Amino acid sequence: MRVLEHPAGPTGLSADQARALLKALGDPLRLQVIEALGSGERCVCDLTADLGLAQSKLSFHLRVMKEAGLIEGRVQGRWIYYRLQPQAIAALQTWLADLTAHCGRPAAPCDG
């Protein structure tokens, strides 16, 4: 059985959820944010400075990643601090591993 045939595969991640995570990761700017957050929690002010983005543009990308479940934020004073959601990344890793587990299997012969 393939993961894609189930609403939620063995990882608990549905194909729709995996697509949402992959879509959120598919933008180069969002990947830069993910890489920046890989070293730990970061203030939005640091992310705008480090990535050279206007805060409005960064806010859009952060919202997409937050809605996908890749990151979460916490408010402290007037700033928001963002961090990765390791569970989402681990679930995507497991989903991808499950997807590739049998991809080398040859096709059954055709009857036609």
Tell me, what amino acid is at 24? A
Taking only the tens place, the pLDDT of each residue in 48-90 is 999 999 999 999 999 999 999 999 999 999 999 999 999 999 9
**Structural domain contains residue 90:** yes
| 29 located within any domain | yes
Report residue 66 as tokens. Answer: 């937050």
pLDDT of residue 103: 85
What pLDDT score was predicted for residue 109? 92
Per the domain annotation, does 104 fall within a domain? no
Residue 7 has pLDDT above 60, yes or no: no
Q: How many CB atoms lie within 10 A of CB 3?
A: 20
Q: Looking at residue 87, which CATH number applies to its domain?
A: 1.10.10.10
Q: Is the dihedral of CA 39, 40, 46, 52 positive or negative?
A: positive
pTM: 0.78
Rounded Cα–Cα distance for residues 46 and 25 (Å): 20
The whole domain housing 55 covers: 11-96
What would the two tokens of residue 74 be? 């916490």
Instruction: Determine, yes or no, domain membership for 32.
Output: yes
Give the count of beta carbons closer than 10 Å to the beta carbon of residue 80.
16
Tell me, what's the pLDDT at 11? 53
State how many domains the chain has.
1
User: Does some domain include residue 105?
Assistant: no
